[in-house]
């Protein structure tokens, strides 16, 4: 089972993803695409809060760039892997030196059909507002939308969360 959960900031998408993962009764792996190594106190506090909320039943892996490689290493029939979040991963790749976005995206899309176990992606829907100013901002919105379209084609279930209310767009009802 492959699932994609999209929504805006604080829409309930991560909490929903965690509940769905726990309901599998499989070994839980959380791949955090944030980079806690940066000198960002607010992000460090956010990460700590999320880890505390998840509890001790999760094995956490921090991987800001090499998502496909990490999934190939850790996805097994007895696991449920939750990736939070695709848009932060996109940001990391776009701003890496050199920009590795297209290489990493292709690697992920090629790896997905090969993965055992369950995989749940969480991503921010950023394309419902105005066209942003600046080339990098427009590129980010465009690439995010294209990534989520590609993932939605591959995933068995796609959910959009608004105000904590999940709406199944594709696949089996909740």
Residues catalogued as catalytic: 50
Task: Provide the sign of the torsion angle of the four alpha carbons 86, 30, 5, 119, taken in this order.
Answer: positive
Torsion of CA 55, 61, 62, 63, to 10 degrees: -150
How long a stretch of residues is the chain? 174
Half-sphere exposure at residue 160, Cβ-oriented, CA atoms within 13 angstroms: 11
Please answer whether residues 124 and 71 qualify as being in contact, where contact means their C-beta atoms are separated by less than 8 angstroms. no
Burial of 6-16, coded b for 16+ CB within 10 Å and e otherwise, reads bbbeebbbbbb
Of 158, 28, 168, 164, the residue nearest 86 (C-alpha): 158
Point out which residues pair with 79 in neighbouring strands.
27
């Amino acid at each position: 089972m492959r699932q994609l959960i999209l929504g805006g900031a604080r829409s309930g998408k991560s909490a929903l993803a965690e509940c769905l993962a726990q309901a599998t009764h499989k070994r839980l792996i959380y791949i955090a695409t944030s980079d806690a190594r940066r000198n960002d106190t607010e992000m460090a506090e956010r990460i700590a809060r999320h880890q505390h909320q998840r509890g001790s039943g999760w094995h956490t892996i921090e991987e800001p760039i090499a998502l496909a490689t990490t999934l190939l290493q850790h996805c097994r029939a007895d696991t449920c892997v939750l990736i939070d979040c695709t848009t932060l991963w996109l940001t990391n790749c776009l701003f890496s030196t050199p920009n590795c976005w297209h290489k990493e995206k292709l690697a992920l899309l090629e790896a997905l059909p090969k993965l055992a176990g369950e995989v749940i992606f969480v991503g921010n829907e950023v394309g419902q507002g105005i066209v942003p100013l600046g080339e990098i901002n427009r590129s980010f919105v465009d690439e995010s939308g294209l990534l989520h379209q590609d993932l939605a084609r591959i995933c068995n279930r796609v959910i959009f969360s608004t105000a904590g209310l999940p709406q199944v767009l594709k696949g089996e009802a909740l």
